[in-house]
Structure 1
Amino acid sequence: MTDSAAGNGEENPPGRASYLFEGRRVRVSDLVDAGLLAPGTQLVFRRKRSGEAHLARVTEDGKIELDDGRRFASPSAAAAAASGRGPFDGWTAWALENDTLLDVLRQTLLDTVAGQSSSGGSAAEGSVDRHTRLKDARKKADEGNPITLTVRDLLDWWEASRRGYLVSGQVSAELANHGLSTVPDFAAVGLDDRVALTGPPTDTEDEQEATAEQEAAAEQETATGQWETKTTGAPKSTASDDEEEEPVQGQTVGNLPSALRGVESVTSSANFEEAFTKMRLNGYSQLPVLNGPRNLQGAVTWESIARARYADSGAPFSDAIAAAHAVSYADHLIDVLPDLERFGFLLVKDQTNRIAGIITVADVAAEYGATARPFLLIGDLDRQLRRVISEGLDLTEVIALCDPDGQRKLAAFDQLSYGDYQQVLGNQEQWDKLGWPLDRKSFVARLDELREIRNELMHFNDKDKAGDSAIPLLRNMIELLREHGS
């Protein structure tokens, strides 16, 4: 990867085909290197409501130094340290003495590098197109009309179909560079769930106090509910936070298809007939009892209804309301499994703490089944490749190809790696010995494609599993090996 043009001090570097900063967050030091921000420049962070003003200066190495001598690479960290509060979007908190925000300088740098990249070939053209889209998204967000789209469509801006570790990191970084966040977090919901591209708050202090007031109101609303909850705090994705911030990793509750797809419910003033009808019409085994989108009273289940009626045939509906448990959409799936085992189902809160969906044991079983399927196919692919090589080729010749200097001390077919399979089958002489009526180049190209899928899976870098597109590729290759390797 190359540094940005502004970052290495070169003017109009030739052939820049990679997107701005290689998917990393812009740093204050990049502004200094580009000549947009001079060392020694005074910065001010004005608190609009309180009238406080915090001062800092830019150091030679692109850090933000507070009056007490503490230095920070991140504007957000510097703002939080200066005020003793946070979190803040430091890029819209700190400004020059003429009120020019650091964010404005950052956008100038992005525009400059995008202009230098415009003649860098097809890859650069795609990056410039994405830069234009992100600028438009920021403009609409600032106007109060944020763009909404599915996570799948958002990933398509980066020509990606799944949220692998590298892809998620690049998406998160480039959103951050444009001062954008997704609500809800694009990494914590399903591919077909919709997110809004929102910009940074115009007044971080007011935003914090408004958020605190909303949370207090939500707590008050749910204080009377007879239910159990687990609050982890799931704000929107922190695309404007420190450059060290990473996207959500691992499967979350929100990644399950049913988590944010809405929920059928009744109020505590309902009757048995209404609950019966809704449960039967929808094939539900449980039904949440809500007296407001955030006021969870519990749930009724066939078991709780039977228990109430068994104790008293004339029991009121309220006797059938059992405890229910709510979790955040951003909770890691593995962390909520004990609660799911205990209750059999969990209600899901969205980024505003509204009850937005429900997950069951069946949903989780299907998720883990889908996750396990490509692992099983990868294992079968390894076995089939080893079998056709061991049955059709000479071990001595294979070792000569894969371990010519003997450093690996290969002595058996069982010691071969996936890379060895590619090395052997990509060799024209060894391929000819197999006698397959197949095109070697096409076969080896598919092997390499499957290698990338395999690496993503084995390193748990792919949040969205191999997906529908990879499963057929694996199966087709396995079937081909079985047919021609027998």
Structure 2
Amino acid sequence: MALDRGLVIAGWEELGDLTSCASIADLGGLLEAVYPDESPATLTNWKHQLWRFRTMDVGDLVVMPRKFQQIVAIGRLAGPYEYRSDQPVGYRHVRKTDWLVRDVDRAAIKGDLRDSMGAFLTISELTRRDAAARITALVEQGHDPGYTGAVEPPADPAALEADIAEAGTRQLTPRDLIGLWGWSRRTTGVTALVDQELAARGLIVEPHFNSVRLDDLVTVSAVTEGSDDAAESVSTDPAPIGHSSSAVGSRKPSPVRDFGWRIGTLPFARDVTTITVDDDLGLAHLHMVESDFSQLPVVDRNGRVRGVVTWKSIARARLAERGRTVAEVADHNPPTAREHEELFSRIQDLQQHGFLVIIDADHVVTGVLTASDIADQLKLRVEPFTLLEEVELRLRLTLNRFERGDLPARTRNILEKKGQVTLGEYRYVFQDSDLWKRLRWPFDQQTFLNRLDVVKVFRDNVAHWDVDAPEAESEAVEATRQLLRLLQLVV
């Protein structure tokens, strides 16, 4: 109906004419009168959505995702808000719209802009990251030029809420999101705390901030009663956009989140070289040889995966006496994965193929994860534990050289109670001046103790599950390595 009649349409079928609402406060009062059983948070959410619809400027661009299809329509508002009482219920709040293009492929839109269009809200505003210029380019040129600038985070959680109330969504990085509550690492406790804080404010994050890298973008939006149902109906419900009484219900319980590694948290190659089936096979050879690639994704004009060329697929084609074109040598069923997938569920595919082509929800290639990437991660994540283990072993060996009566009193008490000394407690051993003299180590005592303090804090940090590799603690890793060098010299 929107496309056929040149309109954008909002639902809220129980709500009458909004023309008399001169302010957002007037609109809020009307909503309270019509929906007395709704929560204040839901009414606030609806108030901002409808005020956006009421006050959008003639000439503004509007984007409408097409249900059942991987395309969007883009139009330009051609008239003010109207209430058409003679239309069917649910189709009365309208704005005249000139639809400029009706079939923009979603894959032609960069992921950040696509994500900002995927809010749980009927009406949200696309304001940041050059959205208007990029949508104009989609209309005029058929492609999204993207955005490479930084994203300035909100100042605090209240500012995040204000931004979402104003525009409907807010994009920021997981690093900035957890930073709003003073955290820098995504441990189990931090993840649970931030999830609770977001839920208390009626906010949801897509994708979840634990399933991508610290500096990727996530989109935060508001949820209302019934949003889960509304979200599920995006591709199945032909009803008009907006609130419908049938969509209102209690929110479904949040699933229990597991804390396994997600593919999206790994630093795989994201600036991917690709080819198309129409490219010359020599171009594939050139890319693979000069960049030492073992595989090259084959994509369509919008970046959707259509296959992969590997040295193995080239060899098989040659043995079969074919292999003159990309189409002939490509494996058209490449191993693919999504960033939100749990890593260890795909390890077998990595072992078998040596790589996974990473794609988004629209099958656009966003990266390539290789077995070499996993090996690099294994070193990053395992090395700190091996360093710490050897540090503790050498400290223990040092302690075993002394009779208990020769140890500081506090250390003797610890041994009598627990039988062992923790890494944090070794400071009390080595700050004893008499024991330090007897060690005759050629180091400055205070410098050694300072190094031990850094390593102790690092040990406490890595003892807790953390989605981020210890490379974020590179200085602490190096401090541990330096302390170990000292101990290797004397123990």
Distance in 1, matches of 2:445 and 2:478, equals: 20
Distance in 2, matches of 1:480 and 1:351, equals: 51
Which runs of no fewer than 5 residues in structure 1 stay unpaired?
A: 1-47, 52-94, 107-129, 215-239
Distance 1:462 1:330, change over 3 A: closer
Distance in 1, matches of 2:380 and 2:43, equals: 45
1:255-274 pair list within 5 angstroms: 255-258=265-268, 261-274=270-283
Q: What are the Cα deviations for residues 288-308 of structure 1, in whole angstroms up to 9, with x where unaligned?
A: 122365853321112212321
Q: What are the Cα deviations for residues 150-204 of structure 1, in whole angstroms up to 9, with x where unaligned?
A: 3333343344332222222223222333333333322112223233333326872
1:10-89 pair list within 5 angstroms: none
Distance in 1, matches of 2:179 and 2:288, equals: 38
Pick from 329, 353, 376 the counterpart of residue 366 of structure 1.
Answer: 376
In the other structure, the counterpart of 1:320 is 329
In the other structure, the counterpart of 2:38 is 99
1:189-200 pair list within 5 angstroms: 189-200=212-223
Q: Shift in Å at residue 469 of structure 1?
A: 2.5
In the other structure, the counterpart of 1:208 is 232
* TM-score computed with the length of structure 2 as normaliser: 0.58
Is residue 2:491 matched to residue 1:481? no
With 175-184 and 295-304 compared, the bigger mean Cα shift is at 175-184
Distance 1:343 1:154, change over 3 A: same
Is residue 2:165 matched to residue 1:173? no
Q: Secondary structure of the equivalent of 2:307? A: strand
Q: Shift in Å at residue 131 of structure 1?
A: 9.5
In the other structure, the counterpart of 2:299 is 290
The residue type equivalent to 1:208 in the other structure is: E
Distance in 1, matches of 2:437 and 2:198, equals: 50
In the other structure, the counterpart of 2:344 is 334
1:79-158 pair list within 5 angstroms: 97=36, 99-102=38-41, 133-144=156-167, 146-158=169-181
Distance in 1, matches of 2:405 and 2:293, equals: 62
Distance in 1, matches of 2:325 and 2:414, equals: 82
Is residue 2:475 matched to residue 1:452? no
Q: Shift in Å at residue 373 of structure 1?
A: 1.3
Distance 1:436 1:317, change over 3 A: closer
Is residue 2:334 matched to residue 1:310? no
Which runs of no fewer than 5 residues in structure 2 stay unpaired?
A: 1-10, 15-33, 46-152, 239-250
Is residue 2:187 matched to residue 1:164? yes
Q: Secondary structure of the equivalent of 1:265? A: coil
In the other structure, the counterpart of 1:346 is 356
In the other structure, the counterpart of 1:464 is 469
In the other structure, the counterpart of 1:223 is none
Distance in 1, matches of 2:394 and 2:455, equals: 14
Q: Shift in Å at residue 434 of structure 1?
A: 3.9
Q: Shift in Å at residue 404 of structure 1?
A: 3.1
Q: Is the 8 A contact 2:187 2:464 kept in 1?
A: no
Q: Is the 8 A contact 1:403 1:409 kept in 2?
A: no
Pick from 424, 427, 433 the counterpart of residue 429 of structure 2.
Answer: 424
Distance 1:178 1:446, change over 3 A: farther
Q: Is the 8 A contact 2:205 2:218 kept in 1?
A: yes
Distance 1:325 1:465, change over 3 A: same
Distance in 1, matches of 2:183 and 2:194, equals: 10
The residue type equivalent to 2:232 in the other structure is: Q
Distance 1:435 1:156, change over 3 A: farther
Distance in 1, matches of 2:325 and 2:362, equals: 32
Q: Secondary structure of the equivalent of 1:299? A: strand
Q: Is the 8 A contact 2:277 2:298 kept in 1?
A: yes
- Cα RMSD of the aligned pairs, angstroms, is 3.9
Q: Greater Rg, structure 1 or structure 2?
A: 2
Aligned residues: 340
Q: Shift in Å at residue 442 of structure 1?
A: 6.3
Is residue 2:399 matched to residue 1:389? yes
Distance in 1, matches of 2:450 and 2:154, equals: 32
Q: What are the Cα deviations for residues 265-293 of structure 1, in whole angstroms up to 9, with x where unaligned?
A: 22333331332344345432211122365
In the other structure, the counterpart of 1:75 is none
Q: What are the Cα deviations for residues 20-79 of structure 1, in whole angstroms up to 9, with x where unaligned?
A: xxxxxxxxxxxxxxxxxxxxxxxxxxxx7899xxxxxxxxxxxxxxxxxxxxxxxxxxxx
Q: Secondary structure of the equivalent of 2:350? A: helix
The residue type equivalent to 2:335 in the other structure is: H
Q: Is the 8 A contact 1:308 1:320 kept in 2?
A: yes
Distance in 2, matches of 1:244 and 1:318, equals: 43
Distance in 2, matches of 1:254 and 1:320, equals: 29
The residue type equivalent to 1:168 in the other structure is: T
Distance in 1, matches of 2:234 and 2:417, equals: 62
Distance 1:430 1:343, change over 3 A: same
Q: What are the Cα deviations for residues 288-345 of structure 1, in whole angstroms up to 9, with x where unaligned?
A: 1223658533211122123213322565432212131111212221221101111111
Distance 1:209 1:373, change over 3 A: same
Q: Secondary structure of the equivalent of 1:418? A: coil
The percent identity for this pair of structures is: 26
Q: What are the Cα deviations for residues 118-174 of structure 1, in whole angstroms up to 9, with x where unaligned?
A: xxxxxxxxxxxx996222223323443644333333343344332222222223222
The residue type equivalent to 2:316 in the other structure is: R
Q: Shift in Å at residue 462 of structure 1?
A: 5.5
Q: What are the Cα deviations for residues 227-257 of structure 1, in whole angstroms up to 9, with x where unaligned?
A: xxxxxxxxxxxxx9757844x5232211111
Distance in 2, matches of 1:347 and 1:378, equals: 35
Q: Secondary structure of the equivalent of 1:263? A: coil
Distance in 2, matches of 1:428 and 1:131, equals: 50
Distance in 2, matches of 1:407 and 1:244, equals: 46
